[in-house]
A and B are shown apart, each in its own frame.
Chain A
Amino acid sequence: MIIDRRSFLAGTAMGVLALNFPARAAAGSGGIIDVAMIGEPPTLDPMMSTADLVGTITQHIFETLFTFDGEWKTVPMLAAEMPAISDGGKAYDVKLREGVKFHDGSPMTSADVVASLQRWLAVAGRGKQAAAYVSGVEANGDNAIKITMKEPWAPLLALLAFNNSAAVVLPKGKLAEPLTEFVGTGPYKLVEHKPDQYIQLARFEDYAAREEAASGYGGKREPIFDEIRFVPVPDPNTRVAGVVSGQYVFADLLPTEAYGQLDGASGVKPLILEPFGNPSIVMNMKAGILSNKKMRHAVQAALDPNDMMLAAFGDEKFFKVDGALYPENYVWHTEGGVERYGAADAEKAAALMKEAGYDGSPIRILTSRQYEFHYKIAQVMVAYLQAAGFKTDMQVSDWATLTTRRQDPSLWDIFITHGPFVPEPALIGSMSDSYPGWWVSDEKQKAVSAFNAEPDPDKRVALFPEVQRVFYDDAPLYKVGNFNALSAASASLENLTVVPWPFFWNTSRKG
């Protein structure tokens, strides 16, 4: 579940820190902006990939029926309003907005939406997750659809709103495998994609914006820039130099060591997204020595999260030691079960290992230097595990190799990854039974099923502490802490919102 950004949520603000700049210049001031991204997206088909880079760029081109507002509540986007849910949570009637056009000029109808959702259910990773619960999607006239469920499943709306493996709407006639024409309803349309050079988007003049005030990803989207160009700049230091020199108005995901340089530079502002995500130590529950729960508890007891986070992120400005699955101020935040977190008690760990009958076999740890903080966490973890009496075998490879090896339960005991604070717990990758690590237990089944089947949002919040308690008891992974992300923007950008997947509608430049 590596994703470089996705997160936030909240009972309170989504960390949507509107920059403290003067009010936006008059709409239509236009101009062209260059945005430095971490690399080239693997595809521009937002259904096909769960990569953040894909979602960040394509959310300007494509739109979903729903999206998230500034408090991570699900709000309508291409849907006219929130759906009417009936039949005990098994029927969703969705009215569509009228007058919405695709970039090719054709009007969006229920036929396009039904065909798009059917493709999403068939090919998108998150769509397939939903497909297990959906019995049908059908048009209800030209401007409404009906989704029928086999059983109530509350995460559906969050999945339909997420820009990651997204349920975007395309013209029925443009759906193809693989997608070759990237035609959406979004505020920007694709002009040219030169791989490794730029992705050029131009303002969609016929864009039909919502009328509600903008909030997070929801409400009115106004394409002000004439053009946005997403430029892959893989070297992080070059991204820093690029935004400081003024070549780029925004640079994504910068090394935290650059904070001082950005803070002191004129014409540029460092942006800290707090919190951004959480590194985690995934344990193999299917095979090997950690398939024994007591051994996983021994790992929990042995580790010191503070030292791991300090080694990984250096400055407390960029991390927080926190064992809860969701940070404070998030609606899902709870302290249930976290007493198992942060003990750093070698004696307790040794006692648990003895109880479990540990035979001294080395713990095989997969990690990658592609994400340097993974490697640093692994190094500190190894020291603590060895201090408790574990033998370790750290195997360092590139990320692509690791993602292949982790699929085979016979090859590893631990791998290091990181993930976001996704708006809906059901979207957390490791919640899935098939995610490497294979968290499967009767207790989990009971707690998660009750949580997912409950349609009432307040009751779901009340059910989540039990999910977290079972998580800590089963110990499928060790959440190390919360970390923040650094990006930077030109001080001339107005109305830029700091969010996990940055967007540039409603944003303009001074002067």
Chain B
Amino acid sequence: MTMARGAMARRVLSRLGGMIVVLALLVTVVFVIVRVTPGDPAAVMLGPDATQADIDQLRAQLGLDQPMLVQYFLYLGQLLHGDLGQSIFLNQPVLSALADRAEPTFFLTIFSILIATIIGVPVGIIAAYKRGTLFDQAVVVAAMLSASIPSFWLGLLLIQWFSVQMGWFPTSGYGGPYAGFFDRIQHLVLPAVSLGIVNSALIVRFTRASMLDVLQEDYVRTARSKGMSEFRAVMRHAFKNALIPIVTVIGLTLALLISGAVVTETVFGLPGVGSLVVSAVLRRDYPVIQGALLVVAAIYVLINFLIDMLYVVIDPRVRY
């Protein structure tokens, strides 16, 4: 038991060490990529008619005229002090800009993953249980279709139906200065449904495939032969053992959504992390690009780590 715990602790420490190496590499790669990509924040800020002399002057003010290596070490120094830098355009620290954008992205992610899971898991289970029936075939086709639908197109359709024609939801934004919590939630319904439907397809397919494997196992047959009800046999014996791939795909979907549902946020004009990254890239707001990618990558790596840890809880046979 003690040995198992020791192995587990070593595994956790080794994964944490790996995470730090991944993040350090990411910091360097992102720093270099954003600076070697053509485009200049000073030119964007000064507008289309700015002269090269004006642009050079602003570059010097922003410290962008220094050698890349000097800028890199200055940036590393900032990071070690927990400072992600100052946005060139937003006139605020990167961390504060990210915190401002975290709320819509967080709620959008939660709602989307809930919708995707509520649709995906039961439909996948039933399709597997009714394998080969019309229902199963319809689910397979529908899952393939919804996986192929671009989320922006579905978003525009939802806006057309539910905002323009029905007038039930706002078309875009996250509410004005006086918007309360429920106003803001109302702004998230259509983007969450659009993302939820598109992401449910993958969950349906993984759940169905995983359940099909498990339903043929001997222990399920044994459970049924003992007279256990079908519901109990499927949910208690089959579903529980099919959970690992399902949790994996839900976790990965969650991680992707947290990194910002870029297209959906842009279509719905949501001021989330995704739209922050897009506008930062278009403006070449280097500190925001670097800071946002670092934070998003850290969350992504952390979620992957937590999923790994969750395997142990779900399946006691899993050992590290």
Contact = CB atoms under 8 A, between A and B. Distances in A.
Interface stretch (A65-73, A235-243, A458-466): A235-243
Given A229-B176, A400-B284, A194 B100 contact: yes
B49 A165 contact: yes
B266 A235 contact: yes
B47 A54 contact: yes
Of the listed residues A50, A54, A235, A244, the one surrounded by the most CB atoms of chain B closer than 10 A to its CB is A235
Given A50-B49, A237-B156, A241-B164, A247 B171 contact: yes
B269 A233 contact: yes
Contacts of A200: 176-177
Interface in A217-257: 229, 231-235, 237-238, 241-242, 244-247
A405 B38 contact: yes
B283 interface: yes
B89 A407 contact: no
B172 A247 contact: yes
Contacts of B216: none
Interface in A383-413: 397-401, 403-405, 407
A42 B62 CA distance: 15
A194 B171 contact: no
A432 interface: yes
Contacts of A229: 176-177
Contacts of B275: 196, 234
Please tell me the size bucket of the interface on B. 35 or more
B167 A245 contact: yes
A317 to B, nearest CB: 23
A36 B152 CA distance: 19
A414 to B, nearest CB: 17
B269 A234 contact: yes
Given A241-B163, A242-B171, A198 B176 contact: yes
A194 B269 contact: no
Contacts of A34: 173, 176
Contacts of A336: none
A242 B170 CA distance: 8
Interface residues on A, range: 35 or more
A233 B48 contact: no
A43 B45 contact: yes
A167 to B, nearest CB: 15
Contacts of B22: none
Nearest to B37: A401
B45 A50 contact: no
B121 interface: no
Interface string B155-190: 010011001100100111110110000000000000
Interface string B263-277: 000111101000110
Interface string B80-118: 000000000111100001001100000000000000000
A40 B89 CA distance: 10
A369 to B, nearest CB: 13
Interface string A37-65: 00110110000111100100000000000
A197 B271 contact: yes
Contacts of A40: 279
| Residue picked from A50, A180, A196, A238, most chain B C-beta under 10 Å | A196
A241 B47 contact: no
A48 B40 CA distance: 15
A30 interface: no
A304 to B, nearest CB: 27
A84 interface: no
B127 interface: no
Interface in A119-136: 125-126, 128
A50 B177 CA distance: 28
Given A198-B176, A200-B177, A50 B50 contact: yes
B3 interface: no
A192 interface: yes
B15 to A, nearest CB: 35
A50 B48 contact: yes
A3 B49 contact: yes
A22 interface: no
Contacts of B163: 241, 245, 247
A434 B51 contact: yes
B43 interface: yes
B63 interface: no
Interface string B48-73: 11111111000001000000000000
Contacts of B276: 196
Contacts of A502: none
A504 to B, nearest CB: 16
Given A1-B48, A400-B43, A403-B40, 13 more contacts: A40-B279, A43-B45, A50-B46, A50-B50, A164-B47, A229-B176, A233-B269, A234-B279, A235-B267, A238-B159, A242-B171, A399-B282, A400-B282
The 5 closest A-B CB pairs, nearest first, are A50-B47, A400-B39, A2-B48, A196-B271, A50-B49
13 contacts: A3-B47, A34-B176, A125-B54, A164-B47, A164-B49, A196-B276, A229-B176, A231-B176, A234-B275, A238-B171, A241-B164, A245-B171, A435-B49
Interface of B: 37-40, 43-55, 61, 89-92, 97, 100-101, 152, 156, 159-160, 163-164, 167, 170-174, 176-177, 266-269, 271, 275-276, 279, 282-284
